[in-house]
Amino acid sequence: MEKTYQPEQIEIRWYERWEADGRFAPSGEGEPFSIMIPPPNVTGSLHMGHAFQDTIMDTLTRWKRMQGRNTLWQVGTDHAGIATQMLVERKVAAEEGKTRHDLGREAFIDKVWEWKHESGDHITRQLRRMGASVDWSRERFTMDEGFYKAVQEVFVCLHEEGLIYRGKRLVNWDPTLHTAISDLEVENRDQQGSFWHFRYPLADGVTTDDGKDYLVVATTRPETLLGDTGVAVNPADPRYASLVGKFIELPLVGRRIPIVADEHADMEKGSGCVKITPAHDFNDYEVGKRQDHMLINVFSKDAAILERAEVYNFKGQPQPDVDPTLPAMYAGLDRFEARKQIVADMDALGLLEQVEAVNNTLPYGDRSGDVIEPLLTDQWFVAVESLAKPAIEAVENGDIQFVPKNYENMYFAWMRDLQDWCISRQLWWGHRIPAWYDAEGNIFVARTEQEAREKHGLGADVTLTQDEDVLDTWFSSGLWTFGTLGWPEKTPELETFHPSSVLVTGFDIIFFWVARMIMLTLKFTDEVPFKTVYVHGLVRDAQGQKMSKSKGNVIDPIDLIDGIEIETLVEKRTGNMMQPQKAKAIAKATRQEFDGGIEAHGTDALRFTFLSQATTGRDIKFDMSRLDGYRNFCNKLWNASRYVLMNAEGEDCGAEFDNDKSSEVELSLADRWIISQLQKTEAQVTKAMEEYRFDHASQALYEFVWNEYCDWYLELSKPVLWDAEANDAAKRGTRRTLVRVLEAILRLAHPMMPYISEEIWQRVAPMAGTFKGTNDSIMVQPWPQAEQAKVDEQATLDIEWLKGVIIAVRNIRAEMNIVPGKPLDVMLAKGRPEDQSRLESNRLFLSKLAKLESVTWLANPDDAPLCATQLVGEMEVLVPMADLIDKDVELKRLVKEIDKQDKLIGGIEKKLGNEGFLAKAPEAVVEKERGKLKDFQAARKLLLEQHEKIQAL
């Protein structure tokens, strides 16, 4: 073995080997366990969030596989409608100077497929680097033929049931992308805005009670004035009671609009009068509906002012009787231009009463960054109410459980206030909506045009055109758990692996995806999509900032694995930016944070870091120093293995002797102890994994490997192995323990650190007798199970004693500035009989580990010469110091120690002096305190004696 751990030499090799050996496919045996990967964007690349998520999924998958479950980790990607289309549009623009419209729909779609083929395996390659044990043979893409079939089936069925409908409704419209987006794709940002107060003249010579001939309405969006259909006042507002039923003459437009009473108007706010614009505001839409107003749309798809308004009733029917005339001077003006102009014109008319500065929030499209406009358009919707009910129940009754549990509240809150879901998108890349129209605009929904004709008896003479729009990507990913398994066919995979066992996902897409999956899956399979939802937090940068390309603080997980030069990193972060003006600052910050670039750490160290930070659903600040630390841990494990191999390879490791009582194999105290500790660790790690506490699982492993196996057991093995006089059975016992415990460690580690564990296991397993032929792999070994019978409490106590004495001697060395290598003569005094017997049976270990010349039991403590002392329980560890002792230093140390004991004693005495405590605390607690008091007092007494002795010098 190499002297240091070098991940790059082993990782790719092992992944290729596993894949070639078909290790990732379900075994076909055992109780099924399945995880469906949240499909990443097919043309995307792996970011830290993916890497984190994939680590968790792979750890669960490998763990369950080792537990003998029939394990499927289903892999695949989604087509990411808007994101991919935008990317290809930009690419086409850059390369050919053309828009998608120049190319036409078909040619453009070809371009997207080309791009998919070109870049589509990037993310899957990265998944492989992460060690993901996904079943590549079952890889799915949402735009695959088979998956499309599932999408059509669902659409048609829902439509037949009346749960999908088409309607003219207000949607969040992205004027840049020219498509509807869901409210989840809208980002609300705070900003400084203006609040314009306008005077709306009363028609027909009417005046207010206080004699004014106008009402004041305020708005943050003056340009919508053109679409006003009325002014609302609160029905209980005495100020305007006399005006209800009267009219306003809408300025600039000249339209007569009614004053209506509606509870939407808040008497406390502003003047108490609200302008109503049903076609441009979600609240006003509701008011307009109640008041039987028209919908007057004044915006084009670009959010520019129309020449003539479009007028509809609330059924979406055009209203030719309403005069659609709009002022000519605004026609074609962009909404923000129009706003300026309208404000200026109102001012000129003396109708601008005041402009107030306000803090408000504005909706932005998370893709385009443009301000979202509520716009009246024809869209397809899913009526979610009847779907939501069972979806809520599934979580309420525990069929689906969230981990951590508090996310269930977030889910309920959203589900109980659900709007119908707009599923059509005005894009080209996606699942085309399976609906056809005849010349009159009649709608025929079917799986194919052929079916549409047959179903509705349409002759060949009827021209049908398919709906131009595509479906929201989340509509198709909502079918992911069962669509990937072959639905609507009744496949054996569907039978076996659905419902899936766990969904691992970020909280940010609970609404987007999780909720919709639950609704659609229950509807179409009568099963939940998954039994558990493990929700993890966001991976943030070291400062706690969200990682984003525009901030220039993203880290490519692959760069943490392979390392990256600083110049390459700067280039990567500042190249191809949307906002190039930020490049300089980003370069500077990057150079500051990653001075010498990033070193290679390997996949296992990265995975272990993620796991150790995976606490209960909170965000994680990615910490480079922890990554360093876990790479060191890999190295530690590597070197411990090196030691084991050096001492065991080619030697008799007793693999064939299974009976520990056999005279052929003799186990030392240390052997029994480490075996005992291993059982506890196995139990701990398993429990932690069951509870999704990967931080606890990784920590339990780390502590056992480093602080017990390496720090103590390996050291304790040396005296046995290097003792020329030790018998063969003892050596065999120690070698066997070294090897078997290491082999178990590797199996415990494997789900978390697949590569290093496999690499070492290949060398260790043959000696441990667990290797079954040349093609064997740790991936299919049984998960370690704690055996209660091997827990040896006596051995634990004995080793604790031994460690205590060794540490006491080390302490004395440090206190007295004695070099670590100098052999010492040590005496043990006071204490109990078992202390003496422990000394006799551990003399060898003690001498070697504490580097002692001699160690003797002092029957009469008064015989002790002048010594430095330490306490182990009630026993004193004495190192004769003769004239070497520094009186002042030692006195000071003792005083400090005595003070410490005094404080402890004081605390307990106070407790025990409290009658309430004695009366009400459980007896066991009281007893424990009494015991502690006794110990502390005994320690204090010894320290005091020692102090007096030295004082007397």
Partner RNA sequence: AGGACCAUAGCUCAGUUGGUUAGAGCGCCACGUUGACAUCGUGGAGGUCGGCGGUUCAAAUCCGCCUGGUCCUACCA
Residues 922-951 that bind RNA (CB under 7 A): 922, 925, 928, 932
Q: What angle do CA 635, 637, 643 make, to 5 degrees?
A: 100
Computed on alpha carbons and rounded to an integer, the radius of gyration of the chain in Å comes to 38
Residues 601-660 that bind RNA (CB under 7 A): 613, 615-616, 618-621, 623, 625-626, 628-629, 631-632, 634-636, 639-640, 642-643, 646
- Going through 265-369 in order, the beta strands assigned E by DSSP cover 273-276, 295-299, 305-312, 352-365
- What number of chain residues touch RNA (CB under 7 A)? 95
Q: Which is nearer to RNA, 87 or 898 (CB)?
A: 898
Collapse the DSSP code of 62 into the 3-class scheme (helix H, G, I; strand E, B; otherwise coil) and give the result.
helix
Q: Which is nearer to RNA, 509 or 858 (CB)?
A: 509
The correct pick among 16, 266, 468, 825 for binding RNA (CB under 7 A) is 266
The correct pick among 259, 265, 868, 872 for binding RNA (CB under 7 A) is 265
Q: Which is nearer to RNA, 297 or 613 (CB)?
A: 613
How far apart are the C-alpha atoms of 520 and 529, rounded to whole Å?
9
The least CB distance from residue 302 to RNA, in Å, is: 22
* Binding segment toward RNA, per CB under 7 A, in 290-298, 557-565, 650-658, 916-924: 916-924
Phi/psi for 218 (5° steps) reads: -120, 150
Collapse the DSSP code of 32 into the 3-class scheme (helix H, G, I; strand E, B; otherwise coil) and give the result.
strand
How far apart are the C-alpha atoms of 793 and 304, rounded to whole Å?
80
The correct pick among 156, 343, 714, 850 for binding RNA (CB under 7 A) is 714
Q: Which is nearer to RNA, 611 or 779 (CB)?
A: 611
How far apart are the C-alpha atoms of 311 and 319, rounded to whole Å?
6
How far apart are the C-alpha atoms of 225 and 342, rounded to whole Å?
9
Residues 721-740 that bind RNA (CB under 7 A): 722
Residues 788-847 that bind RNA (CB under 7 A): 807, 810-811, 813-815, 819-821
* Binding segment toward RNA, per CB under 7 A, in 211-219, 675-683, 729-737, 758-766: 211-219
The least CB distance from residue 652 to RNA, in Å, is: 19
The correct pick among 170, 218, 528, 674 for binding RNA (CB under 7 A) is 218
Half-sphere exposure of 409 (CA within 13 A, CB side): 3
* Binding segment toward RNA, per CB under 7 A, in 125-133, 150-158, 403-411, 876-884: 403-411
Contact map string, positions 559 to 598, toward RNA, x by CB under 7 A: ----------------------------------------
The least CB distance from residue 623 to RNA, in Å, is: 4
- Going through 337-475 in order, the beta strands assigned E by DSSP cover 352-365, 373-382, 401-403, 421-422, 424-425, 435-437, 443-445, 465-466, 470-471
| HEC letters along 841-885 | HHHHHHHHHHCEEEEEEECCHHHCCCEEEEEECCEEEEEECHHHC
How far apart are the C-alpha atoms of 782 and 949, rounded to whole Å?
60
Q: What angle do CA 881, 883, 886 make, to 5 degrees?
A: 80
Q: Which is nearer to RNA, 546 or 930 (CB)?
A: 546
Residues 487-516 that bind RNA (CB under 7 A): 511
| Complete DSSP assignment for 458-503 | --TTS--EE-S-EE-HHHHHTTHHHHTTTTTS--HHHHHH-SEEEE
Tell me which H or E stretch contains 338.
Answer: helix 335-348
Q: Which is nearer to RNA, 3 or 661 (CB)?
A: 3
The correct pick among 715, 776, 874, 945 for binding RNA (CB under 7 A) is 715
Residues 423-482 that bind RNA (CB under 7 A): none
How far is C-alpha 182 from the geometric centre of its chain's CA atoms?
23
Residues 516-545 that bind RNA (CB under 7 A): 542, 544
Q: Which is nearer to RNA, 211 or 820 (CB)?
A: 820
874 part of the interface to RNA, by CB under 7 A: no
The least CB distance from residue 193 to RNA, in Å, is: 8
Task: Find out whether 340 is annotated in a ligand binding site.
Answer: no
Helix axes 793-816, 833-850, angle to 10 degrees: 60
Q: Which is nearer to RNA, 219 or 553 (CB)?
A: 219
How far apart are the C-alpha atoms of 621 and 233, rounded to whole Å?
51
Q: Which is nearer to RNA, 336 or 722 (CB)?
A: 722
How far apart are the C-alpha atoms of 180 and 178, rounded to whole Å?
7
Q: Which is nearer to RNA, 288 or 486 (CB)?
A: 288
Amino acid (one-letter) located at 659: N
CB-based contact 55:48 (threshold 8 Å): no
How far is C-alpha 386 from the geometric centre of its chain's CA atoms?
30
The least CB distance from residue 601 to RNA, in Å, is: 9
* Binding segment toward RNA, per CB under 7 A, in 88-96, 265-273, 435-443, 444-452: 265-273
The number of residues in the chain equals 953
Contact map string, positions 359 to 398, toward RNA, x by CB under 7 A: xxx-------------------------------------
CB-based contact 502:60 (threshold 8 Å): yes
Q: Which is nearer to RNA, 464 or 921 (CB)?
A: 921
Q: Which is nearer to RNA, 494 or 533 (CB)?
A: 533
* Binding segment toward RNA, per CB under 7 A, in 274-282, 308-316, 320-328, 454-462: 274-282
Which candidate, 49, 18, 94, places its Cα nearest to that of 538?
49
Amino acid (one-letter) located at 698: S
Residues 1-40 that bind RNA (CB under 7 A): 3-6
Q: Is 654 left (phi over 0), alpha (psi -120 to 50) or beta?
A: left
The correct pick among 344, 914, 930, 941 for binding RNA (CB under 7 A) is 914
Collapse the DSSP code of 947 into the 3-class scheme (helix H, G, I; strand E, B; otherwise coil) and give the result.
helix
The least CB distance from residue 261 to RNA, in Å, is: 12
- Going through 175-280 in order, the beta strands assigned E by DSSP cover 179-181, 186-201, 214-219, 230-233, 247-249, 256-261, 273-276
548 part of the interface to RNA, by CB under 7 A: no
How far apart are the C-alpha atoms of 506 and 414, rounded to whole Å?
16
The least CB distance from residue 198 to RNA, in Å, is: 9
* Binding segment toward RNA, per CB under 7 A, in 83-91, 267-275, 346-354, 422-430: 267-275
Q: Is 198 left (phi over 0), alpha (psi -120 to 50) or beta?
A: beta
The correct pick among 17, 125, 269, 892 for binding RNA (CB under 7 A) is 269
How far apart are the C-alpha atoms of 614 and 461, rounded to whole Å?
63
Q: Which is nearer to RNA, 47 or 813 (CB)?
A: 813
Contact map string, positions 154 to 193, toward RNA, x by CB under 7 A: -----------------------------xx---x-----
The least CB distance from residue 29 to RNA, in Å, is: 34
Residues 693-712 that bind RNA (CB under 7 A): 695-696, 699, 702-703, 706-707, 710-711
Collapse the DSSP code of 293 into the 3-class scheme (helix H, G, I; strand E, B; otherwise coil) and give the result.
coil
* Binding segment toward RNA, per CB under 7 A, in 78-86, 355-363, 564-572, 728-736: 355-363
The correct pick among 242, 409, 448, 465 for binding RNA (CB under 7 A) is 409
The correct pick among 220, 466, 496, 762 for binding RNA (CB under 7 A) is 220
Q: Which is nearer to RNA, 268 or 883 (CB)?
A: 268
CB atoms within 10 A of CB 746: 27
Binding residue ranges for ATP: 549
Binding residue ranges: 549
